[in-house]
Structure 1
Amino acid sequence: MTSYVYSSVLRDYIEGVIRQKRSLGFSYDTEARILLKFDRCCTAEGCTQPRLDRTLVEAWNAKRPNESPATRMGRISALRQLALYMVQMDLPAYVTPTRHHPKVPRYVPYIFSATELGALFAQIDSCTYCCEVPYRQRVMPLLFRLLYGCGLRLSEALCLHLADVDLETGVLTIRDAKFHKDRLVPMTEELLERCLDYAQLVHRNSEPEALFFVGRPGHPLSGGNVYKNFRRFLWQAGISHGGWGKGPRVHDFRHTFAVHCLARWVREGKDLAVYLPILKTYLGHYSFRDTAYYLRLIAELYPDITARMEQSFGHVFPEVEVAPNEAD
């Protein structure tokens, strides 16, 4: 977690709400960064009293040029939580009503077909040497296979250390993921073989604490770099991109893994009452609601198995209306 230095008259309450949220299991890093900007705004406005006036709050909430609804929503939400915290402390604070929150369009996950995955991985595997990122042609094929083959979040893959990849048992140790949860993720034999080959080529003399996926010499591999390569692979594979916020996204490999996994189990006649908790644990979901969302996607994408799904889980579909969180 990143720590920031707050200096306005509200610094004690900003630090207090961050401590409270983190004690409940939230990383609250993005919100802490947003509140740092608000802290500086308070200083610039000459605030001298520990209060949140409506005028100040509404000025902060106002839409900024070229700002997306999701970004604005993040600013409003962070300040609203600070206001609620201050109200708990019996301090005057204007709490933005939820009806004033901007409407954020729901993102519908892009589920890659088997044909699209084949075309995409063909382009990823043809990734060539780059002098600025010497191991790019080794990193990209394995990274994207782990994202799809293990349903990892990109942040989880980029935070893997060499010691977290058990090259004997084929088990990944995901540490301090969402809600500070750790979990073990078994790999297929094919992925294990690829990890072994990669480690022998890239980490022959590395220490156990070295990051598994390397970027530029002396620098970790960044999410921005991965996304830039991903967009190129999409274009080369002939898969259209809808533009910013519309996908496909790197995170859709995780969604595709879950949907393909559940669809295969249904076709094999597996008891989803037994297998759904396994998928929940494997993905590191906080609740069954997140995992159950994929049941609805299966019903929409695979009409041939809808009847079998409804026999056991038809009651789930009407209740699941919201897509998993961006970081799920």
Structure 2
Amino acid sequence: MSKINYQGPFKDHIQNHVEFKRAVGYKYVTEEGHFKRFDRFTLEKYPQATDLTKHIVLDWCSKKTYEAQANQCSRASVIRQFGKYLDSIGVKSYILPKGYYPTEKQYMPYIYTDNELMNFFVETEKCRYSSQCPYRHLIMPILFRMIYMCGLRVSEVRLLKVADVDLENGILTIHHSKKDNSRLVPTSNSLVERCRHYSKIVHPFPKEEDFYFPALNGKPMTIGNVYKNFRKFLWRAGISHGGRGRGPRVHDFRHTFAVHRLKKWAEQEKDLTVYFPVLKAYMGHDSFEETAYYLRLTADVFPNITLKLETHYPEMIPELAGGTYETN
């Protein structure tokens, strides 16, 4: 990762703040992009600034005509954290109040039915060869199944290396995911068999550093490529799309995995106080609150789950009324 050469009046503070965030486990890539633009903004408009004043903060956070509300809120959140950091080291700073700018209506994850999943995966099997992505027809049937069956994030699947897919033991190794966490993800026998067949064709002479799902020239599949194919399979499977920001989304396969798993355990009368931490670890969550987000999506079994969990994890239950724990 190349180091950005900040030049504005807060250059040293920005660099120290970014380094601190990464030291405690955050990737801080998107945020660094915001800081790059903020640095240029202050260099041009407030080159002599020594304090982070309210005027500078509100000027920076003012909504652009082309900007989505979510992006404005993201910029505001970053500058709020920066203000808190400056205040902690004794630099006079205006700290933007939390929730100062209204957020867009929270997206409610789309939970696919069993029939929709079956129809979608059938369509992935019909994917044809493309010279722009030679292995596309082999990748798509497995990539989307892996996202759903293992509850993975899209980036976790896209960036898998050959060395990360253990075909002998049926385990995926996820490196440096959200908040730079890594974990081992066991897979089903049926998925392992599909991967073995796939690997014989796509990786006949495997190199550990190669991407498991390669696009042209050995690069990883792009998010755009995955999404473009997703929309095509979705339409052919007869699953309606609500338009921009309304879904279904690729990430909803991960949501669906969690909800289906909770439902199955509840129906099997499993001890959820034991299995809930398992789901937390499997999905790579930092806290129980992140996993508890799915309880809201499991409405038909939610009362029973709450009764079983509130004694063991009372601190997470109040959060079920809201929150945005799993949005990416």
Interval containing the TM-score (normalised by the shorter chain): over 0.9
Structure 2 residue 261 is the aligned partner of structure 1 residue 261: yes
**What corresponds to 1:65 in structure 2?**
65
Q: Report the secondary structure of 1:243's partner residue.
A: coil
Q: Which residue of 1 aligns with 2:169?
A: 169
Provide the alpha-carbon RMSD of the alignment. Answer: 1.8
What displacement does 1:275 show? 0.7
Q: Report if the CA contact (8 A) 2:259-2:297 is conserved.
A: yes
Once the two structures are superposed, the pairs formed by residues 55-204 of structure 1 within 5 Å of their partners are 55-204=55-204
1:306, distance to aligned residue in structure 2 (A): 5.0
Structure 2 gap ranges (5+): none
CA distance in 2 between partners of 1:230 and 1:99 (Å)? 34
User: Measured at CA, do residues 224 and 264 of structure 1 come closer, stay the same or move farther in structure 2, by a change above 3 Å?
Assistant: same
Contact between 1:146 and 1:191, CA under 8 Å: does it hold in 2? yes
Contact 1:9–1:49 at 8 Å: present in 2 too?
A: yes
Matching of residue 236 in structure 1 with residue 236 in structure 2: yes
Flag the 1:308–1:83 CA change in 2: closer, same or farther, 3 A: closer
Match of 2:45 in 1: 45
Contact 1:296 1:317 in 2 (8 A): no
Partner of residue 326, structure 1: 327
In structure 2, distance between residues paired with 1:159 and 1:2: 19
Distance 2:87 2:113 in 1: 50
User: Relative to structure 1, is the Cα distance of residues 306 and 96 closer, same or farther in structure 2, using a 3 angstrom cutoff?
Assistant: closer
Aligned 8 A contact 2:296 2:302 in 1:
no
Distance in 1, Cα, partners of 2:51 & 2:303:
57
CA distance in 2, matches of 1:183, 1:120: 28
Other structure's SS at 1:64 match: coil
Q: In the alignment, does 2:31 pair up with 1:35?
A: no
One-letter amino acid matched to 2:62: A
Decide which moves more: 216-225 or 260-269: 216-225
Does structure 1 retain, via aligned residues, the 8 Å contact 2:211–2:219?
Answer: no
Q: CA deviation at 1:5?
A: 2.1
Counterparts of 1:155 and 1:199 in 2: how far apart (Å)?
A: 20
Match of 1:312 in 2: 308
Identify the residue that residue 279 of structure 2 maps to in structure 1.
279
Q: CA deviation at 1:9?
A: 2.0
- Whether contact under 8 Å (1:266, 1:309) holds in the other structure is yes
CA distance in 2 between partners of 1:183 and 1:189 (Å) = 19
Deviates further, 75-84 or 183-192: 75-84
Taking only the aligned residue pairs, the percentage that are identical comes to 42
Which amino acid is 2:174 matched to? Answer: I
The amino acid across from 2:58 in the alignment is E
Q: Offset of 1:58 from its aligned partner?
A: 1.1
Letter paired with 2:26:
F
| Number of residue pairs matched by the alignment | 323
CA distance in 2, matches of 1:325, 1:277: 16
Note the alpha carbon deviations across 1:199-249, whole angstroms, 9 max, x for none: 111111231111111112243211111111111111111111122221111
Deviations, residues 254-291 of structure 1 (Å, cap 9, x unaligned): 00001111111111111111111111111011111111
> For structure 1, which runs of at least 5 residues remain unmatched after alignment?
none
**Closer, same or farther: CA 67–168 of 1 in aligned 2, 3 Å:** same
| Distance across 1 between alignment mates of 2:10 and 2:302 | 54
Distance 1:47 1:68 in 2: 28
Distance 1:26 1:287, change over 3 A: same
Query: TM-score under structure 1 normalisation?
Result: 0.93
Q: Aligned equivalents of 2:113 and 2:208: distance in 1? A: 37
Quick check: 1:72–1:102 contact (8 Å CA) kept in 2?
no
Structure-1 separation of matches of 2:63 and 2:76: 10
1:296 maps to: 296
In structure 1, the partner of 2:16 is 16
Question: Are 1:34 and 1:75, in contact at CA under 8 Å, matched by a contact in 2?
Answer: yes
TM-score, normalised on structure 2? 0.93
